[in-house]
């Protein structure tokens, strides 16, 4: 049984057209775009996991957003179904959480790759609807057997663990 990673799922959902668009934005080829997207998704997943584990308002917001994604109906298929962020998850908390992450993620990726933060921010904006779709698909696939709300006992104890399952582990 093959387990694809969060990054693989997002890359698959992006498709060739979006990857070509991102490559143009970055001034590179699709291979370079794939590397930049993979790096960006890794930073995003790590940041989400860290925030979900935090015992503060940000952590509570991220956990609540993941609960909302986990409880949502199965998503529409394909990126073509998106009319920007509004279409699929109008007002969804996860869209807001990802939008908040976009600047710190862009800064971190820029520092690691040398790509200007403003350019990385535009790539992040293009990735958000795709990430939302993949998170919803992964959550709906995982929710059945994992107790997405977390184990009973311990306040918020399982949220990061459930999130790690959806994101594919994040930290190594």
Spatial separation of the C-alpha atoms in residues 19 and 12, rounded to whole Å: 10
More confident residue, 169 or 110: 110
**pLDDT band at 170; cut points 50, 70, 90:** very low
DSSP-derived letter for residue 75 is P
Tokens at 30, concatenated: 């699709």
pLDDT digits (tens, 9 = 90+) for 127-160: 999 998 898 888 777 644 433 333 333 333 444 4
**How buried is residue 58: exposed, middle or buried, by Cβ count under 10 Å (0-12/13-18/19+)?**
middle
Residue 3: per-residue pLDDT: 57
Domain-wise residue ranges, the chain: 6-140
pLDDT digits (tens, 9 = 90+) for 62-115: 899 888 887 765 545 444 444 444 444 444 888 899 999 999 999 999 999 999
Q: Which residues of 132-165 are buried (b: 16+ CB within 10 A; e: fewer)?
A: bbbbbbbbbeebeebebebeeeeeeebbbebbbb
Residue 78: per-residue pLDDT: 47
**pLDDT band at 38; cut points 50, 70, 90:** very high
Find the mean pLDDT for residues 54-63: 90
**How buried is residue 168: exposed, middle or buried, by Cβ count under 10 Å (0-12/13-18/19+)?**
middle
């Amino acid at each position: 049984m093959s387990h694809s990673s969060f990054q693989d799922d997002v890359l698959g959902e992006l498709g060739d057209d979006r990857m070509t668009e991102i490559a143009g934005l970055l001034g590179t080829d699709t291979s370079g775009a794939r590397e930049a997207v993979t790096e960006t998704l890794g930073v995003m997943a790590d940041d989400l996991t860290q925030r979900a584990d935090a015992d503060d308002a940000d952590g509570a917001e991220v956990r609540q957003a993941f609960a909302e994604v986990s409880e949502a109906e199965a998503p529409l298929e394909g990126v073509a179904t998106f009319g920007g962020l509004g279409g699929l998850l109008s007002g969804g908390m996860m869209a807001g959480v990802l939008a908040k992450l976009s600047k710190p993620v862009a800064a971190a990726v820029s520092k690691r790759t040398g790509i200007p933060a403003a350019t990385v921010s535009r790539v992040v904006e293009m990735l958000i609807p795709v990430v939302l779709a993949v998170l919803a698909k992964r959550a709906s696939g995982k929710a059945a057997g994992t107790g997405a709300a977390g184990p009973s006992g311990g306040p918020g104890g399982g949220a990061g663990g459930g999130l790690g399952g959806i994101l594919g582990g994040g930290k190594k």
